[in-house]
A and B are shown apart, each in its own frame.
Chain A
Amino acid sequence: MAEAPKPKPIDEQVFQHLVQLAALELQADEAEYLRHELNAQLDAIRELEAVRIALDLPITSHGVPYGPAIRPSPRGDQIRPSELADAILAQAPEVMDRYLVVPDLPRIDLE
């Protein structure tokens, strides 16, 4: 008798939770494809679990270590004038009196 396929880690419930966290509205056929690909990627990612690696190996924010000689100094905490405000506002989909317009914030009534 053939073995039943192993259940995929990203099932419908997990997927819907991710979609909510990701703030995405998806079409049904698109969702099915995305979930399939996520599980395929996870199969590749799970190879990491087999890597024997010293737990004291340090983790870094990027590959190149920035020693004192090449690390940029922090910028001074100074106010700088910008002439871009109008150009930035011009990119906003909806503006009123130089404020960005959005719908109501979601509300949850606490019991």
Chain B
Amino acid sequence: MTGQICDLPALELVRRLKRGEFSAGEALDSTLARIELVEGRSGSVQNTSADPLDAARVHAYITVTRERARQQARAVDRALASGEDPGPLAGVPLAVKDIFCVAGTPSTAGSRILANFVSPYTATPVARLEAAGALTIGKANLDEFTYGSSNESSAFNPTTRNPWAADRVPGGSSGGSAAAVAAGEATLSLGTDTSGSIRQPAAFCGVVGLKPTYGRVSRYGLIAFASSLDSPGPLARNTTDAALMLGAIAGPDWRDSTAANAPLTDYVAELEAGVQGLRVGLSPDFLRLRTPDAETGELREQGLQPEIEQAVRRVAETLAGLGAEIVEDVPMPSVRFAIPAYFVISRVEAASNLHRYDGVKYGHRAAGPAADLSQLYRRSRGEGFGTQPKLRILMGMYVSGAQYEKRYYEQALRVRTAIRRDFERAFDQEGPARLDALLAPTTPTTAFELGKVYGDSVLMQYADLLTVPANHAGIPALSVPAGLDTSRLPIGVQWMGPDFSEATLLRIGRAYERATADQPWRQIRPAILRELMSA
């Protein structure tokens, strides 16, 4: 810790702010100063040539909303001065993944087709965070329309870099969010997770990422990818902050008919309950993987990066030492088909959702006269969409064609049910495993090099191999940092639990954090911070 406000976790920041140790304006200034130090050029569709400085900066944002945050900070300080409660997130700098509409801000989805779109309304989770006193400091970069696991598909350059190693990807699609939280450019970030897009970048950037249960958090104002899978959720410095943020955004919303009426929990109050008596499972199906060979594309059995498997074992031992019961060899036979099923379901839904972009109502419109409306659509979409949306639309068209629907789409939906059944069996309190949570690695590898995977859309999709099963099942999953590999890159592990069991997952995560608080790896800071702050 540097003692700077921008490096404080959210809960501590709020407590100290309320004690009068600093103002919301000072919290904002601290974060803006950090952005000045580490951000470099923020993402833009106008940036087409490389700048030598880009390689040593983070580039987490597309838009920094200084004035919005400044006004919010003044409101918090006014509330404090007049003795009013400024809210549970008072003065906390927040990065919003640029897949959420925020009134009056460019809301781009990282795509050229929405580069000029200024949202007229605000997404429900963002509105709730702002009502809780958070300061919206900017819109974070992401893979185009969230389609990717590295941030490299964004139309807004320079690409976000991993604060732990500038030649590595931050993960994706919430890569800007994870990088911002890791580098002190935001204290919290709101991301989305459709196949791992919160957890995978959280793991790569050494922060906490929580994918809530499907329906726990409203999707109103979220630019849709795969509507049956999309889950907004927190990226944070620790599990306490994730709990604090989830409490602010969870709950029903009349604007989203899939926002569940499930009872709300005080996630922070339950954090310190420990793991005594909890049953935590390990499954060989999350440790032995079938992934494509990088050269031939052939699927073959491969282990995890050994340091990641070792980290999972160490976490299990730590939990056992705290009184949890570790259940080995929990069978999850259907998760091996999670990626092929995801390829189908997500593409069908993406193709449907992307039909609204047509160059007529908003967004990019091809210049010059068009012979007819069809040509206007084709040209506007051809110019506006990048490679990844185009691939998803085309594949969605193919697999939902009348002649293939049964073979692919219906089969994929059945596989989704089979994956759900695997989890139901594991969590069944009358069944053999009776788990409270399943422990698994978050990713097969630590952060990979920029340019190494991008372009191979199959290999990139397999980066989500360990995260996408929770999306198919709809269940919550929490990723936390669990050490560094020999290259000093963060390792993430995740717990998955039954529907609406976020409080239990956060409890487990918090117990693990407390038990490992003194470990040397927790004192190491991201390389970009070490370099720029010592310069």
Chain A residues engaging chain B, CB cutoff 8 angstroms: 10, 14-15, 18-19, 21-26, 30, 33-34, 37-38, 40-49, 51, 53-55, 57-64, 66, 69-72, 74-75, 84, 87-88, 90-94, 100, 102-107
Contact = CB atoms under 8 A, between A and B. Distances in A.
Most A Cβ at <10 Å: residue of B259, B355, B381: B381
A90 B59 CA distance: 30
Given A57-B417, A106-B373, A44 B461 contact: yes
Nearest to A25: B382
B408 interface: yes
Given A25-B378, A37-B457, A64-B260, A44 B474 contact: no
B225 to A, nearest CB: 14
Interface of B: 117-118, 120-121, 213-215, 228-229, 252, 254, 257-262, 292, 297, 299, 337, 339-341, 343-344, 351, 355, 358-365, 369-379, 381-383, 385, 387, 390-391, 393-395, 397-399, 407-408, 410-421, 456-458, 461, 471-475, 499
Contact of A34 (B228, B387, B407): B387
A63 to B, nearest CB: 3
Task: Give the secondary structure class of B's interface.
Answer: helix
A51 B415 contact: yes
A48 B351 CA distance: 20
Contact of A103 (B261, B362, B372, B418): B372
Contacts of A92: 360-362
A34 B394 contact: yes
B122 to A, nearest CB: 11
A87 to B, nearest CB: 4
Contact of B413 (A18, A46, A59, A75): A59
Contacts of B473: 63-64
A61 B375 CA distance: 34
Contacts of B362: 88, 91-93
Contact of A64 (B215, B337, B370, B398): B215
Contacts of A87: 120
A102 B474 CA distance: 41
A48 B457 contact: no
Given A18-B394, A44-B343, A106 B411 contact: no
B394 A19 contact: yes
Given A43-B297, A62-B258, A57 B361 contact: no
A66 B374 CA distance: 40
Contacts of A61: 228
18 contacts: A21-B397, A22-B394, A23-B377, A24-B378, A24-B394, A34-B394, A40-B458, A42-B395, A44-B461, A54-B414, A57-B414, A59-B410, A63-B416, A69-B261, A72-B252, A84-B120, A94-B365, A104-B372
